[in-house]
């Protein structure tokens, strides 16, 4: 959170947003979607939503079309956060506790995440709102200047975030140590860049620490402690036994968790699932854990209150619950279902690639 705050204070994300030049409404719909998708895979989905909705305010005048683009940002942010261990709080939790690993998760969930975004985008492209105007307000865009060495801070901050899974794989140390190392490097860098300039205090780490969402951190801490107490009392184990007896298919359980995450925050749902099923029930990188990561991440898109990204969009654009439900929920549900089908198909179809040139018929001469 602090690294992202530092990059944002330096206007580092302008490197991404300033390169969006298309003004075709349907093309812009897809560009916004996939820029947010990949941005959210490195940042958290809340930050990605705030950055992209702020951009939309400068690109598109207030209209139904801008609301639709904002909804695309929500779906894209949730889909993008599902396929990397640092893209969403729930995937990070599963990764830290050993349920999933970095490469297997990225390989297994990338295609379903893309499908869960592409399907809503394709359906939204057919709506009348997708023909809206997107006139650029150049005066607003030019009024925000990047801070000194903003490009360097953006590169180092992004590198620090991406480095965390590599750090864990190379050293075997907990991921938080890699994140602290990245923050320390960024701290030294920003102090060196802005040394002796009292007017740039807001660009330094101590000021960034005062601006991060500490209440959100304490909220997650409270959730995890509550779930931990339920696990210690054996209640989660009893719930797991009940689900196993009544829903014998693990894929249905994971899918139901995603649907529930549209109403209930996905963090307690995933934390409870981790308490219900340990690694003896489902080993590391089992289909169940990957499907939980995908469903909990993307299921929240079905309602505007189902994810932090949706709540942020609702507050920033004053979008009400029923507008989102009427205009977007059906598209998000279609993407969610298509993503699950894609994942199950990829895992169950007997697809095997040739392991050597000799196995390829026209090369081996057979």
User: Looking at residues 337-347, what average pLDDT do you find?
Assistant: 93
7: in domain: yes
Residue 354 domain-assigned (yes or no): no
| CA gap 261, 164 in Å, rounded | 27
- Torsional class of 43: left (φ above 0), alpha (ψ -120 to 50), beta (otherwise): beta
Total number of residues shown for the chain: 366
Q: 237: burial class by Cβ within 10 Å (0-12, 13-18, 19+)? A: middle
212 versus 253: which is more confidently predicted? 253
Residue 26 clears pLDDT 60, i.e. is over it:
yes
| Mean per-residue pLDDT, 137-144 | 47
pLDDT of residue 133: 52
pLDDT at 122: 93
Question: Could you list the residue range(s) of the whole structural domain that residue 98 is in?
Answer: 1-130+147-348
Rounded Cα–Cα distance for residues 254 and 287 (Å): 10
Between CA 112 and CA 114 the distance in angstroms is: 5
What is the pTM assigned to this prediction? 0.77
Position 355 in a domain: no
**Is 174 a residue whose pLDDT tops 90?**
no
For all residues of the chain together, what is the average pLDDT? 83
DSSP character for 128? G
User: Is residue 62 included in any domain, yes or no?
Assistant: yes
Mean pLDDT, range 312-327, rounded to an integer? 88
What is d(CA 65, CA 24) in angstroms, rounded to the nearest whole number?
Answer: 12
**Looking at residue 79, what is its pLDDT?**
94
The number of beta carbons lying within 10 Å of the beta carbon of residue 324 is 24
- For residues 267-296, give the mean pLDDT: 89
Residue 201 lies in a domain: yes
pLDDT at 325: 94
Residue pair 311/304 in contact by the 8 Å Cβ criterion: yes
Lowest mean pLDDT among 45-49, 161-165, 362-366: 362-366
Residues whose CB falls within 8 Å of the CB of residue 31, separated by 6 or more in sequence, listed in order: 20, 22
Cβ-contact 305, 315 below 8 angstroms: no
**Predicted pLDDT at 355:** 39
Angle in degrees, 0-180, between the axes of helices 102-124 and 287-298, rounded to the nearest 10:
40
Is residue 360 in a domain?
no
Question: What DSSP string describes 149-200?
Answer: THHHHHHHHHHHHHHHHHHHHHH---HHHHHHHHHHHHHHHHHHHTTT-GGG
Give the count of domains, the chain.
Answer: 1
Answer whether residue 142 is part of any domain: no
Q: Are 5 and 25 in contact (CB under 8 A)?
A: no
Least confident range from 214-223, 268-277, 320-329, 357-366: namely 357-366
CA distances (Å), 24 to each of 55, 56, 124, 161, in order? Answer: 16, 14, 14, 33
Q: Is the pLDDT reported for residue 254 higher than 80?
A: yes
- Contact (CB, 8 A) for 51 and 8: yes
234: left (phi over 0), alpha (psi -120 to 50) or beta: left
Give domain status of residue 5, yes or no: yes
pLDDT, tens only, 53-77: 878 877 788 888 889 999 999 999 9
The pLDDT of residue 100: 92
């Amino acid at each position: 959170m602090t690294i992202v705050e530092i990059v944002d204070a330096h206007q580092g994300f302008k490197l991404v947003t300033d390169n969006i030049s298309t003004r075709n409404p349907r093309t812009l719909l897809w560009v916004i979607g996939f820029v947010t998708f990949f941005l959210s895979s490195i940042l958290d989905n809340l930050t990605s939503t705030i950055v992209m909705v702020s951009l939309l305010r400068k690109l598109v005048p207030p209209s139904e079309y801008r609301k639709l683009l904002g909804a695309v940002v929500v779906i894209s942010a949730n889909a993008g956060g599902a396929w990397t261990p640092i893209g969403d709080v729930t995937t990070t939790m599963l990764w830290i506790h050993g349920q999933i690993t970095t490469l297997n998760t990225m390989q297994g969930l990338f295609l379903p995440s893309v499908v869960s975004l592409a399907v809503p985008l394709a359906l939204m492209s057919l709506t009348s709102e997708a023909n809206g105007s997107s006139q650029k307000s150049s005066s607003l865009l030019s009024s925000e200047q990047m801070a000194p060495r903003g490009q360097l801070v953006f590169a180092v901050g992004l590198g620090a975030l991406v480095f965390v899974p590599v750090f864990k794989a190379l050293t075997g140390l907990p991921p938080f140590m890699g994140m602290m190392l990245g923050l320390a490097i960024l701290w030294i860098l920003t102090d060196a860049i802005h040394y002796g300039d009292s007017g740039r205090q807001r660009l330094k780490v101590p000021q960034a620490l005062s601006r991060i969402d500490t209440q959100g951190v304490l909220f997650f801490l409270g959730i995890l402690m509550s779930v931990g107490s339920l696990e210690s009392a054996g209640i989660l184990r009893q719930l797991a036994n009940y689900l196993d007896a009544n829903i014998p298919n693990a894929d249905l359980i994971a899918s139901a968790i995603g649907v529930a995450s549209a109403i209930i925050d996905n963090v307690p749902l995933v934390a409870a699932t981790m308490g219900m099923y340990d690694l003896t029930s489902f080993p590391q990188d089992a289909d169940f854990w990957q499907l939980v990561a995908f469903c909990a991440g993307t299921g929240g898109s079905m309602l505007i209150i189902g994810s932090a990204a949706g709540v942020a969009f609702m507050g920033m654009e004053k979008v009400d619950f029923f507008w989102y439900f009427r205009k977007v929920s059906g598209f998000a549900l279609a993407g969610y279902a298509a993503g699950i089908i894609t994942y199950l198909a990829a895992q169950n179809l007997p697809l095997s690639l040739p392991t050597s040139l000799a196995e390829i018929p026209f090369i081996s001469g057979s």
